[in-house]
Amino acid sequence: MTDRSRPSSGPGDVRWAFGCAFPAVAAIACATAGTWYEVSLVAHAHVYCEGDLSAGEGFAGTVWVLSRFVLFPAVSAGSALLSLPVQLLARLPWAARRLWPQLLLTVLALAVTLAGPVALTLYDLATQGTTGDCVLPWWPAWLPT
């Protein structure tokens, strides 16, 4: 009698590692590049709306930036954790045999991973970057001001 079980490593293992590591890589990218992008975007918007900042506003902005260096990676990690059930759905037997459900669920998991950082960036831009009735020239018309 021969053993027909799969070898311990193969193409399935590579797909499994890629699928589970994909949200983690996206979360790390959001935590590093996303934090810098959000801080610079909000700072540019704040300077555009307020003009030159006083010393007190500059200090408050520094404290806010330091809080974002803690909060933004936490939101990125939380979003990646929320995307793991979607990735696990792609590994169920009915989806593992077909390419299109895996691809669709991987894209959905990536969207869930990116949703938290994007929402935090839009929220911070709307609350911290634009004060009063200031509307940025690059602000999309479909988003509330």
The closest of 71, 138, 72, 84 to 113, measured between CA atoms, is 84
pLDDT of 50 over the 70 cut: yes
Between 4-8, 53-57, 141-145, the lowest mean confidence (pLDDT) is in 4-8
pLDDT tens digits for 59-72?
877 888 898 899 99
Can you give the pLDDT at residue 14?
A: 62
pLDDT tens digits for 85-102?
887 787 777 776 777 777
Between 8-12, 34-38, 113-117, the lowest mean confidence (pLDDT) is in 8-12
Please give the residue that has the higher pLDDT: either 142 or 81: 81
Can you give the pLDDT at residue 15?
A: 60
pLDDT tens digits for 99-130?
777 778 888 888 998 899 999 998 888 888 78
Are the C-beta atoms of residues 42 and 76 closer than 8 Å to each other?
Answer: no
Q: Measure the CA–CA gap between 32 and 8, rounded to whole angstroms.
A: 35
Are the C-beta atoms of residues 108 and 101 closer than 8 Å to each other?
Answer: no
CA-CA distances (angstroms) from residue 98 to 93, 95, 136?
Answer: 9, 5, 46
